[in-house]
Chains A and B, each alone.
Chain A
Amino acid sequence: MSDFFNSGWSTFIAIATVGSLVACLALLVIASRRTPMAKDNTTGHVWDQDLVELNNPLPRWWMVLFVLTVVCGGAYVFLYPGLGSSAGTLNWTSTGQYEAEQKKANDAMAAVYARYVAQPAEVLAKDAGAMGIGERLFVNNCAACHGSDARGSKGFPNLTDSDWLYGGSLEAIKETIAKGRTGNMPPMAAAVGSSTDVGNLAHYVLSLSGSPHNAIQANEGRAKFAACAACHGVGGRGNPALGAPNLADKVWLHGWGEDAIVSIVNKGKVNVMPAHDSRLTPGQIHVLGAYVWSLSHGSGTSP
């Protein structure tokens, strides 16, 4: 792996590195020659009429250590990436070290997770140790979107209520975490009709959950809901198999009111939950899933 824009630089740096090491040794050899000393063990140099330099030699072990540092420097550039773009004989990379450390940490935790993986959500939700791990995993991996309190925000589902787009069982939650989800609401304006029709439809949708709406407009829009019923169901109760939201409850993931609904019908929405199976181990996903499950099942330890 070379990160120079041409190989000349790599060679230049390699030569400079080796040259410096050789120069260090050369300096030692040049500087440790026997030098003539005056009778009184001074170098014979005199400054300011009377200031003379006493010969005060360094200890020999110091010289040995100096040579050792040069040897270590040579060994380093031989073993590690040091000479320009050479990879070194150990093939060490920072990524490789990171992965090794990660593997070590996962191996150290394997025994803990092995015990938890065998247990269902109901048991784990009562286990303070497991919930502590889940809480920390959540804060590190999920809270950025879903909020520290897991109540989400616009576009990011609330995980503490009982309204689940894909089902609220531990298995469904684990699949969501591991594989991610892509919720696709296509733009439906063409299928619904004019902008008046879309407005009427919005009032009908509001009426499904008993939210404030115009009854006349809602009646007008009722027929237009046929286009929506394919995914959201005839009663607008949603479909966990598709991740189609329930329109008959008071949870409004993408905003509440006529304008928000009109906007979604006109423009559609692709909402993505990223997959985490490359970042988390199966054991971590199990414990994290159990923690998320516990949030909507009122366990004593979670917020």
Chain B
Amino acid sequence: MSSNPSRVIPIAAAEAASGIEGEGGWLFEKQKKIYPRSVTGTFAKWRWAMVWLTQIMFYGLPWLQWNDRQAVLFDLAARRFYIFGLVLHPQDLVYLAALLIISAYLLFLFTAVAGRLWCGFSCPQTVYTEIFLWVERRFEGDRIARMRLDAAPWSFEKLWRKGGKQAAWIGIGLWTGFTLVGYFTPVKVLWGEAFTMSFGPWEWFWVLFYGFATYGNAGYLREQVCTYMCPYARFQSAMFDRDTLIVSYDPQRGEPRGSRGRKVDPRAKGLGDCIDCGLCVQVCPTGIDIRNGLQYQCISCASCVDVCNEVMDKMNYERGLIRFATQNGLSNRWSSGQTLKRVLRPRVLVYSGVLALICIGFVVSLALRSPFRVDVVRDRGALARLVDDGAVENVYRLQVMNATEATQRYRVSLDGLDGAAISSRADFEVGAAEARWWPVSVQVPHGVARSLGAGAHAIRFRIERLAHGEDGAAVVDEKSTFVVPR
């Protein structure tokens, strides 16, 4: 596979987990608290844009209305999912599968092109951590102030800063839990219940559980989720190759590192461009040093890129000592243009092709979706019965699921078996977004049954939705069998 046969992975000696070095270490370690320094710049702007985009959608969707109902509502009790103009039944589960496949291929595609983009910019864990960090900064200040406050003895100031932060965190957590439940219980009903504290038992559970999970994950566990819990974090590295854009420190430009004045020519002192200010480590939300190369903790948030570019500007050096680059690009000293040419490689094209196909299939299938569904179930109690004058009668149950939000009228007719006729009421109504079992009796005259002979004969039911109002006519055909007894 690789072009150079002996690849040496440099292992930088990390400090021992705990205890005295060389003596031994626990196989379990306490979480080291990380104090990420605030950062501004291009990628920070992108991340905040993603925070706004995702959270306006998440917190806002339940409040939208659509034809006198909540626009997006997952009604588990009635087993109906309402998404704007769509009403989905349990039988439409295939769309969920398609959605998950689309999400998976999007992840493959992004990851192959630019590493853990999802992790760094739009994963809820990242987004909520960003929000909670912002709150923390409002109450406790930036990195240094927070470290000092944690080290300081308890005082009134420490109490109100910490207390205010906790109150805000808990508030955001509860609001998040409330919003989640608002997708399953109509949010306006839930809002009313909130004032009288009269949630149902499951509503209480989910509001509190999801709220607590938000508070715990974004407030305390933070990078631990990505490092130890998240399965995607582990297997995304399987989608990397040498042309994947990853946050990289350019050692050939940066080394040997060292501090120097702004007026000094580093080349004259035999130094690289890295001034060893340590800011890239201070801003890192996972507490790693990107200058040791790519590590599995890195979530590609590019905070170190932003902060290093600021430093480079101050020093009047060229930007991009830490940048998004590929392994090939770094080792071959390619410009960014040359690097980007490699984006359209076979793997990316295959991912995009499959993704496009599934997306087109998904949209077309939704657009052509029949406004109602029919299942034909033969009665099992009696296969067939003889009625007056020797005619043979079979009974069927049609389950008709109306996927629209208005009461609809339907009419059943037969096809594929000459002489068969429906001997029960053939037209009926099904209420809005409801399913109804409608019994249908089919008779075949004595003579026809004799000429058909004993056994099962194919028959087709044609169910027609009658046009009314803006709903046009629609037809569904379902196959079944007609049994003639011996």
Contact = CB atoms under 8 A, between A and B. Distances in A.
Interface of A: 31-42, 52, 54-55, 57-63, 135-136, 139, 143-151, 153-154, 156, 250, 303
B219 to A, nearest CB: 14
Contacts, number: 115
A148 B11 contact: no
Contact of A303 (B15, B29, B438): B438
12 contacts: A34-B19, A34-B26, A35-B27, A40-B13, A62-B28, A135-B437, A144-B381, A148-B439, A149-B395, A149-B440, A149-B441, A303-B438
Contacts of A42: 11
Contacts of A150: 439
Nearest to B434: A132
B395 A41 contact: no
B25 interface: yes
Interface string B437-453: 11111000000000000
B228 interface: yes
B437 to A, nearest CB: 5
A25 to B, nearest CB: 14
Contacts of B28: 32, 57-60, 62-63
A145 B17 CA distance: 73
Interface of B: 11, 13-17, 19, 21-31, 221, 224, 228, 379-382, 385-386, 388, 393, 395-397, 424-425, 428, 436-441
B13 A32 contact: no
B395 A147 contact: yes
Contacts of B14: 41, 54
Contacts of B31: 59-61
A48 B330 CA distance: 29
A32 B397 contact: no
Given A57-B17, A147-B382, 18 more contacts: A33-B27, A34-B26, A35-B24, A37-B23, A37-B25, A41-B15, A41-B21, A42-B11, A58-B28, A59-B30, A59-B228, A135-B437, A147-B385, A148-B397, A149-B440, A151-B393, A154-B382, A303-B425
* Nearest 5 Cβ contacts at the A-B interface: A148-B439, A153-B382, A149-B439, A34-B24, A153-B385
B27 A57 contact: yes
A125 to B, nearest CB: 16
B441 A151 contact: yes
A59 B29 contact: yes
Contacts of A62: 28, 228
A250 B387 CA distance: 11
Contact of B381 (A58, A63, A147): A147
A55 B441 CA distance: 74
A4 to B, nearest CB: 36
Contact of A39 (B21, B26, B424): B21
Given A147-B382, A148-B396, A57 B29 contact: yes
